[in-house]
Copies of this chain bind each other. A is one copy, B any other.
Amino acid sequence: MQLISETLEQAIEQLARLPGMGRKSAQRIAMHLLKVDNEQVFLLAEALNHLKTRIQTCSTCYNITDEDPCPVCASEKRETGLVCIVEEPKDVYTIERTREFTGRYHVLGGVISPMQNIGPNDIRIQELIQRIHGNEGIRELILALNPDAEGEATGYYINKLVSPLGIKVTRIAHGIPMGTDLEFIDDATLTRAFAGRQAF
């Protein structure tokens, strides 16, 4: 095969490193970018660079933000006593989309995972304890961790650590997703849904 363009190869190679992107999709995107306005490509490249040059971590909640403190922590409309514990910044993004949660967040930056050698000190649990001892007046933590072994273990650990401090710890409900037929639900979810049944 005659190498047509080293520049094109480089672009395809870099694009193919993105998650969910095969070499075919990377090729299609690179070919597409060759055809569009220069402006669009420069804007894309600039926007990607800005991800690294403009985004920082909020020193209160450890979510990503353009300015420290982040808009959630800076907002006077948010409850400061209620803190939602999440694993990653993308979880904040997902929860904010519902417009339902009115408190602040605490981004752990991971979950406890003995298999991957991630202990309590490798995620921001110490920082959470410091916040609780701080002046935010935190009285309730809502755990919004993924319902897997690591998420459970992390929730268990946090609960054990902060309960003695007089902090209420709750977790978001797991059960049947809205709009789903019962027959398509896996056993673990159904078991959880029964255990978590609520008064009608």
Give chain A's interface residues, CB within 8 Å of chain B: 1-8, 10-11, 13-15, 17-21, 25, 27-34, 38, 40-52, 54-55, 63-66, 70-72, 75, 88-90, 92-93, 96-97, 99
Shortest distance in angstroms between A91's beta carbon and chain B's nearest beta carbon? 10
Closest to A30 in B: B51
Q: Is the CB of B47 within 8 A of A1?
A: no
A20 CB contact (under 8 Å) in B25, B54, B70? B25
User: Which B residues lie within 8 Å of A7 (CB)?
Assistant: 47, 50-51, 54-55, 66
For the complex, give the distance between the alpha carbons of A97 and B4 in Å.
10
User: How many copies make up the complex?
Assistant: 2
Which secondary structure dominates chain A's binding surface? helix
A17 pairs with B45, CB closer than 8 A: no
Give Cα A65 to B8, complex, Å: 9
Q: Is the CB of B20 within 8 A of A50?
A: no
| Min distance, Cβ A111 to any Cβ of chain B, angstroms | 15
Contacts of A92 in B (CB 8 A): 4
6 other A-B residue contacts (CB within 8 Å) besides A10-B47, A13-B47: A2-B96, A11-B47, A14-B47, A17-B40, A27-B90, A31-B93
A7 to B67, CA, bound (A): 10
